[in-house]
Structure 1
């Protein structure tokens, strides 16, 4: 994974008022921590940060004037629930060569046999990888799988240098028989009955003589 260089500024003002002023300037308040160091409060450029964090587990090279550059991974990203823009970022410092645990995306490709349903039980998996070689995700093929087939974490083909950080028997993909229309109607009727909902009987059309 390529490093994304971001120029940061030291931050000495704290609190909600200071954070609002930072955001009005199209910047993002952030904090760097880890490796036994005291938290470093910084301000990041809003646009550059937004672009960088579009990639999961983005490896950032944070350059703060007057300080050494630091490699960091996003630990927590707070976003505005309505507008979606970034409000605050927690960054954890990493070192080249060290192993880190991160969540990576599960990508599904291929088609199971007809009249089956592919259920992705785990959208992401926890893996351990070198901080500078975190995979973008893992691809799982369901080509030709039939109802009853399953894929567990131990079946995944991870990139070299990446290992599972979850139980090997964790269910990732479950292939089941697709539900028929009759089964769907029966389930719906049962659910409505349990909820006390009564269906109106269809009115028969009058036959003209």
Structure 2
């Protein structure tokens, strides 16, 4: 949770034109839903809001001051410019201290598995119920020294105090399998190409070598008698 106080301004203008004007002023339009209240439309300082969201992660909870009152708000959807990266719009859900919320939390795999092992993350996020002010930024999963055949299920994860797993406990999170050798990869690729009917032209050196061999064989054959 971000401890910084983000001061918001009530927003009364809507539409694309109004949103563009807000962004030109280095601010970001946002809306806060929840608790059965009407949506609250606000304008937030762009730079401070971006820093708070980056610090809090995917489920950042911000202290937003609106006309002298502070509202805890859980980040639910962030729209950002795909090229320049600036914030375009944010959806929040109003929350209270001690309130339980359902969130999707990223999986963070750490450590190095055995040298012949291939680590595959089968699920990148899990669903948790946690206190709004104590949402973990991520759940860490260590594969340090893990051997081929190791499987880490959702039930194996270590969750922070106060969090409850909502994802199926039998869900496979990380799978450690045999890392294919270069020869195995080439063999599988060749088989796949053969099944697809893909043919490759022989390298020029190989073509020239075959042609030279054929010419040499032809020269060694006895001439036919006239």
Provide runs of 4+ in structure 1 moved above 6 Å.
none
In structure 2, the residue matched to 1:7 is 7
Q: TM-score normalised to the size of structure 2?
A: 0.86
Give the structure with the higher percent helix.
Answer: 2
Q: Which has the larger radius of gyration?
A: 2
Is the alpha carbon distance of 1:86 and 1:146 closer, same or farther for their aligned partners in structure 2, counting shifts above 3 Å?
Answer: same
2:221 paired residue number: none
| Alignment deviations for residues 1-22 of structure 1 (CA, whole Å, 9 cap, x no partner) | 3433100000000000000000
The CA deviation at 1:164 is 0.6
Distance in 1 of aligned mates of 2:81 and 2:192? 37
Task: Please state how far the C-alpha of 1:193 moved relative to its aligned partner.
Answer: 3.0
Judge conservation of contact 2:2–2:63 (CA < 8 Å) in 1.
Answer: no
RMSD of aligned alpha carbons: 1.7
Give the length in aligned residue pairs: 207
Query: Does structure 2 retain, via aligned residues, the 8 Å contact 1:3–1:58?
Result: no
SS in 1 for 2:123: coil
Question: How do 1:2-81 residues align onto structure 2 when only pairs under 5 Å count?
Answer: 2-54=2-54, 55-56=56-57, 57-66=59-68, 68-81=69-82
Instruction: Name the SS for the 2:128 alignment partner.
Output: strand
Does the C-alpha gap of structure 1 residues 4 and 101 become closer, same or farther in structure 2, counting only changes over 3 Å?
farther
Tell me the residue number matched to 2:217: none
Unaligned runs of 5+ in 2: 213-226
| Alignment match, 1:83 | 84
Would you say the 8 A contact 2:2–2:52 is kept in 1? Answer: no
Q: Is 1:176 matched up with 2:195? A: no
Q: TM-score, normalised by structure 1?
A: 0.93
Q: Which has the higher strand share?
A: 1
SS in 2 for 1:37: coil
